[in-house]
């Protein structure tokens, strides 16, 4: 199999940076939802929506932060005996 530059996966550092940025954005949105739910003089359906966002966003942020990039196509077998790369250890945010 001939490898091209476009076949390369993003580096582990880039992948972690992308996941950390996504996590921080989601948690920032959560803080805004929480502040608006308390401070905004709005009807209860709007407040309920803001509280739901503040409650659900941490779960979605953690799930997204721990999910690796799945850009490797299903047709590639990276575990075969002719594998020429050093295996990368799975790394999750906070580990």
pLDDT band at 67 (very low <50, low <70, confident <90, very high): confident
The pLDDT-based confidence of 65 (bands split at 50, 70, 90) is confident
Stated pTM of the model: 0.62
Task: Identify the burial level of 29 via C-beta atoms within 10 angstroms of its C-beta, where 0-12 means exposed, 13-18 middle and 19 or more buried.
Answer: middle
Per-residue pLDDT reduced to its tens digit, 22-63 = 999 999 999 999 999 999 998 999 999 999 999 999 999 999
Give the start-to-end residue ranges of the domains of the chain: 30-67
Which residue, among 9, 20, 14, 27, has the nearest Cα to 66 in the 3D structure?
20
- In percent, the amount of the chain with pLDDT more than 90 equals 47
Q: Is residue 40 within 8 Å of residue 47, measured between CB atoms?
A: yes
């Amino acid at each position: 199999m001939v490898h091209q530059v476009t076949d390369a996966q993003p580096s582990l550092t880039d992948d972690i940076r992308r996941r950390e940025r996504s996590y921080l954005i989601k948690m920032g949105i959560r803080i805004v939802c929480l502040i608006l739910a308390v401070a905004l003089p709005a009807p209860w359906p709007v407040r309920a929506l803001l509280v739901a966002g503040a409650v659900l966003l941490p779960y979605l942020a953690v799930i997204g932060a721990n999910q690796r990039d799945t850009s490797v196509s299903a047709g590639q077998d990276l575990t075969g005996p002719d594998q020429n790369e050093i295996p990368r250890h799975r790394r999750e945010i906070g580990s």
